[in-house]
Structure 1
Amino acid sequence: MNTITPNLDGRQLRIGIVQARFTNEIGSEMLKVCCRTLKELGVADEDITVATVPGALEVPIALMNLASSEQFDALIAIGVVIRGETYHFELVSNESGAGVTRVGLDYNIPIANAILTTENDEQAVARIEEKASDAAKVAVECANLVNHLLEAQFAEEDEK
């Protein structure tokens, strides 16, 4: 059996982050935690690019443009969608999530989706630290996994 072990070494990785500014206090704190964790994992300041957009629905278009640049090993989506009294919560949650997933699959780039969907501000605040830190770890681990798999694929093709 050949097992690929998780690799959380962020050195040499380039990470793009898109932060939705709606509910900016929570998103800004998530961004701080995420960047701090990326640095702890070895990602250099100059290898982290941050773009902001008005809200969660705009996150996928920014991710798509970052992905199409082919300058990043992984991307991170940060934002908060808090339930209101209308169907808008479901629309924003579902469409932003589907868009983030589609970009990752279309461009073969790992995207850590840290767009919180909560009932209220208190739930969002309670999840800042864990969700933002996890997003950084997921981005680094998945970037290393995809890079490893691509290297193995190219090595196999070279042997043929």
Structure 2
Amino acid sequence: MFGAEQGIGPQLDGAGLRIGIVQARFNESITNALAAACRAELLALGVQEENIDHVQVPGALEVPVALQAMAEREQYDALVALGCIIRGETYHFELVANESGAGVTRLSLDYQLPIANAIITTENMEQAIARQTDKGRDAARVAVEMAQLLDTLN
């Protein structure tokens, strides 16, 4: 939501964090921009390049299985899901959006591991382009903030 009030969060410090990124290739120009913005923000927040693992999968429905494989390694402080689903003329949009989102949420809860979900869903390519950079940065910030929070709660 553009113009949404996000509030003021804590000071973010990614030093020492290990972050995994799973990027869907479908709508690759958008997901590449999401990934570039996410990686740049992680680095700006102090996450070291060597502590960022980035894998690609064919599409949004495949993102959860790659996230699960990463979660099972028990070496990440947070994960990031990146993808782009653009509404088409069939029900497939809803299926992919709902199932990928539910899978990401379930994994986060099952593994008690923060997963920033930046699988964007839009009506058209123009909306996707308008969101690609901000949502990539937001995902990085969410991953770092939630990793910090869970560290204090555990």
TM class by smaller structure: over 0.9
Q: What is the count of residue pairs matched by the alignment?
A: 146
The 1-side partners of 2:48 and 2:68 are apart by 23
Deviations 1:53-86 (CA, angstroms, capped at 9, x unpaired): 0000000000011011001000000000000000
Residue 6 of structure 1 contacts residue 145 of structure 1 at CA under 8 Å; is this kept in 2?
Answer: no
The residue number in structure 2 matching 1:158 is none
Q: Which amino acid aligns with 1:147?
A: D
- Written as runs of structure 1 = structure 2, the 5 A alignment for 1:120-139 is 120-139=124-143
The residue number in structure 1 matching 2:85 is 81
Q: TM-score, normalised by structure 2?
A: 0.93
Shift of 1:6: 2.3
Give the structure with the larger helix fraction.
Answer: 1
Residue 114 of structure 1 contacts residue 135 of structure 1 at CA under 8 Å; is this kept in 2?
Answer: yes
Moved over 4 A (4+): none
Segments of structure 2 that go 5 or more residues without pairing to the other structure are 1-8
1:32 aligns with 2:30: no
- Written as runs of structure 1 = structure 2, the 5 A alignment for 1:50-61 is 50-61=54-65
The 2-side partners of 1:92 and 1:39 are apart by 30
The 1-side partners of 2:23 and 2:142 are apart by 16
The residue number in structure 2 matching 1:12 is 16
Instruction: State the percentage of identical aligned residues.
Output: 61
Which of these two proteins has the greater Rg computed from alpha carbons? 1
RMSD: 0.8
